[in-house]
């Protein structure tokens, strides 16, 4: 396994992402961009990139705060709030990481997916809404709202969002609006709703945030990862 931290720049800010790939495999293969949760690039997102590499993909966990590490929780919303209404900046941050991923010699530019967690899921979806050539997009406990729902008609690939039924940050009305957006745009989409799961259900350290409705849920972590793999098998076939 080859693991490497890579520095790159977006809007004058140095980002440090995490690349993982199996160097024993030869030739080009599908590539997956990983977008981290709101606090920043941490071991959770890095490990997901490594898990994807173990499955045969070239994976790059981007950085959208800068510095390649999480920010203090009391600064997280200060960073995220200006982004939430600015899809152009969200897409630039995502595109910066995507460019690094596609710059790898083994990344197949015709077979690319993006996955994301929490606000990173929002970023993956915005990349697709921005017209990037993504064959699959997966959001885990991802924010579904967008300032430009009409841009969904630019989505080229298949979309999967995995949402906890008990997630207070993604309530039923947000899920319903997303469904309407996807249907209006004719997207090939699916939404998996998991009973008993709240926000950040994939992150074993979620409860450390001390926030109500934010907690790890092991069964849903496994089931949602399996759902992602099923979608990738549909789109990419054997890797």
Provide the percentage of residues in the chain whose pLDDT is more than 90: 88
Instruction: Compute the distance between CA of residue 190 and CA of residue 179 in angstroms, rounded to an integer.
Output: 9
List C-alpha distances in Å: 223 to 19, 31, 160, 226.
25, 22, 13, 5
pLDDT for the residue numbered 199:
97
**Pairing between strand 136-140 and 158-164?**
parallel
pLDDT range class, residue 204, cuts 50, 70, 90 = very high
pLDDT for the residue numbered 112:
98
CATH architecture assignment, domain 2-236? 3-Layer(aba) Sandwich (3.40)
The arithmetic mean of pLDDT across residues 219-233, rounded, is 98
Q: Inform me whether the pLDDT recorded for 17 exceeds 90.
A: yes
Is this prediction's pTM over 0.75? yes
Domain boundaries, the chain: 2-236
The arithmetic mean of pLDDT across residues 55-59, rounded, is 97
pLDDT for the residue numbered 218:
98
The arithmetic mean of pLDDT across residues 33-43, rounded, is 95
pLDDT for the residue numbered 190:
98
Instruction: Compute the distance between CA of residue 31 and CA of residue 172 in angstroms, rounded to an integer.
Output: 32
pLDDT for the residue numbered 81:
81
């Amino acid at each position: 396994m080859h693991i490497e931290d890579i520095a790159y720049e977006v809007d004058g800010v140095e980002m440090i992402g995490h690349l993982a790939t199996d160097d024993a495999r030869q030739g080009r293969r599908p590539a997956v961009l990983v977008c981290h949760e709101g606090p920043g690039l941490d071991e959770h997102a890095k490990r997901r990139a490594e898990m994807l590499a173990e499955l045969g993909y070239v994976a790059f966990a981007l950085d959208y705060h800068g510095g390649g590490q999480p920010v203090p929780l009391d600064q997280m919303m200060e960073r995220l709030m200006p982004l939430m209404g600015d899809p152009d900046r969200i897409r630039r941050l995502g595109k910066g990481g995507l460019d690094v991923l596609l710059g790898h010699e083994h990344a197949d530019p015709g077979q690319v997916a993006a996955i994301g967690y929490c606000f990173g899921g929002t970023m993956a979806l915005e990349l697709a809404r921005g017209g990037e050539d993504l064959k699959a997009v997966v959001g885990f406990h991802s924010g579904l709202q967008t300032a430009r729902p009409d841009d969904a008609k630019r989505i080229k690939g298949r979309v999967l969002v995995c949402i906890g039924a008990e997630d207070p940050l993604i309530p039923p009305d947000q899920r319903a609006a997303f469904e309407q957006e996807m249907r209006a745009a004719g997207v090939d989409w699916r939404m998996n709703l998991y009973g008993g799961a709240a926000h950040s259900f994939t992150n074993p350290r979620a409860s450390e945030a001390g926030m109500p409705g934010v907690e790890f849920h092991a069964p849903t972590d496994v089931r949602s990862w399996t759902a992602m793999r099923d979608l990738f098998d549909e789109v990419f076939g054997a890797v």
